[in-house]
A and B are shown apart, each in its own frame.
Chain A
Amino acid sequence: MAKVLELPKLSPTMEEGQISAWHKKEGDAIDIDDLLAEVETDKATMEYKSFDRGTLLKILVPAGSVVQLGQPVAIIGAPGEDVSALAGGSGGAAAAKPSAAEAQPKGERAAPPAGGDAPVTSPPPAARGEAVSPPTQPAAPQPSSNGRVKASPYVRKLGRERGLDLSSVAGSGPRGRIVARDLEGLKPAPAAAAAKATAPGELAAPEVRPLSMMRKAIARRLTESKQTVPHFYLSIDVDADPLNALREQINADLAATAAEGEKPAKVSFNDLLVKACAIALVRVPECNAQFTPDAILVHQRVDISVAVAVPEGLVTPVVRDVDRKQVLDIAAEVRELAGRAKAKKLRPEEMANGTFSISNLGMYGIDNFGAVINPPEGAILAVGQVRQEPVVRGEQIVPGRRLSMTLSCDHRVVDGAVGATFLKVLRQLLEHPTQILLG
């Protein structure tokens, strides 16, 4: 008995996914846990593994299609089984909407008929003044199973010229082919085209970059955050000399004691800061909390989201139970998570359910800034660079190091005094950094 496979929920926040590549082709034997396809969700590229055993009889949506949760994507069953009834009734490819076409007005175009490259050799029915029965659809050609991006030569050229990542573009052409309009959005309407003569001062044609799933997720979540969460900001300057001295000593000792032929581990300011935040959150649990309409949820675990910039935007892998981990383990974990984040290989659960966030732009030379809260968390700490400047010690002005940080708080959860208390504790820890190692 053939079975229609529907797009499963591969991440907690996922509502739709883009099939970036099929790893099986029609006719392939499938076993349980075989990799069927890669699906790009709002945060990551997920592996879609089979829950069933059988033969992949039909692929209903080509690679590149954006598919809603629960929408049929393939049919699995016994070899040679007739699936025309299932395939016909399931909506299949016709229901998969190319993401670039989302902006298109209704009726702009339907998906091209299968065999979309055959030239037209008959006049339209209208010209013949007679009704015609709809053409029978030949079997859709199989998408390549090697994950190759299908794009027109011109699109590939544009991709090379503009450094585009075509794997994140949904193709609207036959069999999911990416065509020029998928990069450029819609052609101007006839009226607009007529008015296209460039008047002086008119906006020159911009380079149009299609929204990736990640870009859409960033836009949606942060707009929601900034519009619905009442932010306020608390900033402090920390004397970073002790922290700097400690970090230098830690790294010197790590180098001196590294095993023969092994690359010595390293600890960054950020690793120490993540640990310091965890200790401070244990001591001021009101900052490790989230607002719900019925109650404040004070989290009993300290799971810190660390913002990582990736080519397409940013992701927030979560380091779990930071309060119970050693600085060196935290350092290794953050490095490993950041590496996989850049390779788009994080699993959604690794990016979900943090209780507090840290965003550090120090490596970009930023002194201080205010970050947008990562919902549903209650606060986020924005950290700048350790900078050298004249500081007052006693009655002397001497060279010193300073570190600025700004806590953005959700005022529904964290009041000013609470946020200030958290920062006070954090400052003490950072200015007496051996406590971070003992925490």
Chain B
Amino acid sequence: MTVLRFREAVRAAMVEEMERDERVYLVGEEVGHYQGAYKVTEGMLDKFGSRRVIDAPITESGFTGISIGAAMVGLRPIVEYMTWNFSAVAFDQILNNAAKLRQMSGGQLSIPLVLRAPNGSAKQVGSQHSHAMEHFYAHVPGLKVLAPAMPADAKGLLKSAIRDDNPVLFMESETLYGVKGEVPDDPDFIVPLGVASIVREGTDVSIIAWSRMVHVAIEAAAELEKEGISAEIVDLRSLRPLDEETIVKSVTKTHRAVVAHEGWPYGGVGAEIADRIQRLAFDELDAPVLRATTLDVPMPYNARLEQYVIPQASRIIENVHRVLYKS
């Protein structure tokens, strides 16, 4: 075990996998000479050289498309975007090629591709850089979507993603890069896709979250504990595949659920989770499933408005009060 920051855990996963498998390489804006826009790829150019750590021009559609082609013929690219918001430029490649080619080729092609980038809100980077894009991609059959909250999970899941023979989208959070945690050194340590973790045991309500919102939920749970409310936190880690078994097990124990995520409420992943809960655990529900989300507006630039729009612990707490009929 070593204490690593989230960014170091991501880097460790890539380095280990690139050492393990010659076919794995990294491409993206500023991943090489600049050492990464968020210093995730620091030192990797020196370590692996420019053949395997490739600085790309600002052409998301282009280098995503090339990577899909490379994956089709046997390489295993890791694509880094400066932010998931910019992946919108490559949306056609991701949706229409990466996600569909395996099925459209009758299984003759596989796309062992990893796309990774920071995601969601940061501090005053404006509306076009503040989306939580996992909701757009989790909608698509053929894509796998991961959004870890803890450094160890970041490492274990990214290693699983790189070894997976299908396109996996890996969502990081700019605000989590500095978060520290114990991370296993074992190069064989992986976290399987589609398995949630219970980061806090509780009895009164299940707070279901991923990525940055797990940390906000932990903050909310500490406040709730002072009121005598015992909150269980389910860290999904993986949005597609989704670990509905752990969700149902938790709700069966607590009888109430609040989903906390960044991103807009309309048609978000939270709605999918609420549906699964009402379908699979209907008899266990003592209250409707509620969602603490980003407000239904483009992200404001103004600092106070931004804080108002992003889901804070207070929004989770209020929704917990609602499902406990305490508001």
Contacts and interface: CB of A to CB of B under 8 A. Distances in A.
Interface of A: 109, 112-113, 116-117, 119-124, 127-128, 152-157, 172-174, 179-181, 187-190, 193
B284 interface: yes
Contacts of B325: 109, 112, 116, 172-174, 179, 181
B322 interface: yes
Contacts of A179: 286-287, 325
B227 A190 contact: yes
Given A122-B308, A190-B226, 14 more contacts: A109-B326, A116-B322, A119-B265, A119-B319, A119-B322, A120-B319, A121-B295, A128-B308, A153-B286, A154-B255, A154-B284, A154-B285, A157-B283, A193-B230
Interface residues of B, number: 31
Question: Which secondary structure characterizes the binding site on chain A?
Answer: loop
B286 to A, nearest CB: 4
B283 A154 contact: yes
Name the residue among A119, A156, A174 with the largest chain B CB count within 10 angstroms: A119
A371 B286 CA distance: 42
Contacts of A127: 312, 314
Contact of A120 (B283, B296, B318): B318
A122 B295 CA distance: 8
A180 B286 contact: yes
A152 B126 CA distance: 42
21 contacts: A109-B325, A109-B326, A112-B322, A117-B290, A119-B265, A119-B322, A120-B290, A120-B318, A121-B265, A121-B293, A122-B308, A123-B314, A124-B318, A127-B314, A152-B285, A153-B282, A153-B283, A154-B284, A181-B325, A189-B228, A193-B230
Contacts of B227: 190
Contacts of A121: 265, 293, 295-296, 315
Nearest to B321: A120
Given A112-B327, A123-B312, A180 B255 contact: yes
B204 A154 contact: no
Interface of B is mostly: loop
B291 interface: yes
Contact of A187 (B228, B255, B312): B228
A225 B287 CA distance: 43
Contacts of B318: 120, 124
B288 interface: yes
B255 to A, nearest CB: 5
Contacts of A181: 325
Interface in B209-246: 225-228, 230
Nearest to B322: A120
Nearest to A110: B327
B292 interface: yes
Top-4 shortest CB links A-B: A190-B228, A120-B318, A157-B283, A154-B286
A75 B315 CA distance: 37
A188 B282 CA distance: 26
Nearest to A181: B325
Contact of A119 (B204, B292, B312): B292
Contact of A152 (B286, B315, B327): B286
Nearest to B225: A190
